[in-house]
Amino acid sequence: MKGERLCFKLSEIWGVNMIQLFNVSKTYQGEVTVKALQDISLHITRGEFVFLVGPSGAGKSTLTRLLIREELPTDGQILVNGKSVSRLREREIPYYRRKIGFVFQDFRLLMERTVYENVAFAMEAIERPKQEVREQVPAILESVGLADKLGNYPHQLSGGEQQRVCIARAIINNPLIVIADEPTGNLDPDTSWEIMNIFQAINKRGTTLIVATHDRDIVNRMQKRVIALDAGQLIRDEERGGY
């Protein structure tokens, strides 16, 4: 009992904040200077489910690019799991990205590879042994309801099924965070709900989820935390919010 308590306290001290942004700004210098993000500060705790909403160009994509360290913020500090993202060394970036799973609107599957190969690809890329790949890929595909589609090619699948392959690929390496960029943008409402249910199941296992979306209906009915961006500024951040 004592041990459990200690663990709980320790996690409170250093484990609760999964993502912290302190006065983050991102400016793109070009012919026209674009202020994509302006002075954003927010905290997301471990195991949270967060919707990121806002019109196109609000800064949602910029934020996700900063989180996966594709770009560096012009100003401010980003901590993920307690570590500064901007202070990562070049060779640490790949290992950092293994903590984050990514789900895309356009799925980004490899068309000439089967469902199994697409998911195995993510494990091979981080150099997991063959035996592990053979064991874990079918299991994860079963958990997203694709147990009978292992040998199919992406073009033989429906949009919802393709998105499930993409999700399986995002979670196969046990990330701490899953970031989904408009995951239901190309899907019909029923299929969108199926995908959301999968996300909720993943979230229940303790993975932090950030879903950028335009889908009012889903945001309103799920009653999760909503962070709204507009023109690069944080305009709303509420628990159990609507669109």
Partner 1 sequence: MRLSSFEYSIRDALRSMKRNKVMCLASMATVAISLLILGCAWLLVLNSQHLATVMESELEINAYLRSEVERDEALNLRRKFENLGGVEEVTFVSKEEGLERLQQRLGDDTSIIEALGGHNPLPDMYRLKAKVAEDVPRLAGEVEKIQEVEKVRYGQGLVEKLLALTNWMRTVGIVIVIVIGMAAIFLIATSIRLTVFARRREIGIMKLVGATDWYIRWPFFLEGMIVGLVGAILAILFLHLFYANLVRNVILTLNFLPVLKELNVILHVYKWLLILGVFLGAAGSAISLRRFLKV
The reply on whether position 121 binds partner 1 by CB under 8 A is yes
Closest CB 105 distance from partner 1, rounded Å? 14
**Position 186, amino acid:** N
Long-range contact list for 87-93, CB < 8 A, 24+ apart? 93/69
The reply on whether position 7 binds partner 1 by CB under 8 A is no
- Provide the 10 A C-beta neighbour count for residue 56: 8
Closest CB 140 distance from partner 1, rounded Å? 14
The reply on whether position 201 binds partner 1 by CB under 8 A is no
CA 167 to CA 9: how far, in whole Å?
32
Residue from 41, 83, 106, 124 in contact with partner 1 (CB under 8 A): 124
Residue from 72, 126, 147, 201 in contact with partner 1 (CB under 8 A): 126
- Shorter beta-carbon distance to partner 1: residue 98 or 214: 98
Judged by CB under 8 A, the chain residues 47 through 76 that form the site for partner 1 are: 68
Helices vs strands, H then E, count in the chain:
8, 10
Phi/psi of residue 3, nearest 5 degrees: -60, -45
* Residues that contact partner 1, how many (by CB under 8 A): 21
- Shorter beta-carbon distance to partner 1: residue 110 or 235: 110
Residue from 6, 28, 72, 95 in contact with partner 1 (CB under 8 A): 95
CA 230 to CA 36: how far, in whole Å?
10
Phi/psi of residue 27, nearest 5 degrees: -120, 130
The reply on whether position 97 binds partner 1 by CB under 8 A is yes
Closest CB 130 distance from partner 1, rounded Å? 4
The reply on whether position 94 binds partner 1 by CB under 8 A is yes
Q: Angle formed by the axes of helices 159-171 and 115-125, to 10°?
A: 20
Residue from 53, 58, 73, 102 in contact with partner 1 (CB under 8 A): 102
Contact 41, 21 (CB under 8 A): yes
Cα angle 59, 63, 65 (rounded to 5 degrees) comes to 115
Interface with partner 1 (CB under 8 A) = 68, 91, 94-98, 102, 108, 110, 121-122, 124-130, 169, 173
